[in-house]
A = this chain, B = another copy of it.
Amino acid sequence: MTGEADARAERIVRALTARHVTIAVAESLTGGLLTAAFVAVPGASVVLRGGVVAYDTAIKHSVLGVDAEVLAAHGPVHPDVAMQMAAGVRTALALDGVESEIGLSTTGVAGPDAQDGHPPGTAFVGVAVGATVRSFALQLPGDRNTVRASVVQEALRFLEESL
Listed in ascending order, the chain A residues whose CB lies under 8 Å from chain B are: 1-4, 25, 27, 29-36, 38-40, 42, 44-45, 48-56, 58-59, 62-63, 92-95, 110, 112, 144-145, 148-149
Of the candidates B52, B62, B63, which one forms a contact with A53 in the assembled complex, judged by CB atoms under 8 Å apart?
A: B52
CB-based contact A53/B32 at 8 Å: yes
23 contacts between A and B (CB under 8 A): A1-B33, A1-B36, A2-B149, A30-B39, A31-B38, A31-B40, A32-B35, A32-B39, A35-B53, A39-B55, A39-B110, A40-B144, A42-B144, A45-B55, A48-B56, A50-B54, A50-B55, A50-B56, A52-B53, A53-B53, A59-B95, A62-B95, A63-B93
Apart from A39-B55, A40-B144, 7 more pairs, CB < 8 Å: A2-B145, A25-B53, A31-B36, A31-B51, A32-B34, A35-B53, A58-B95
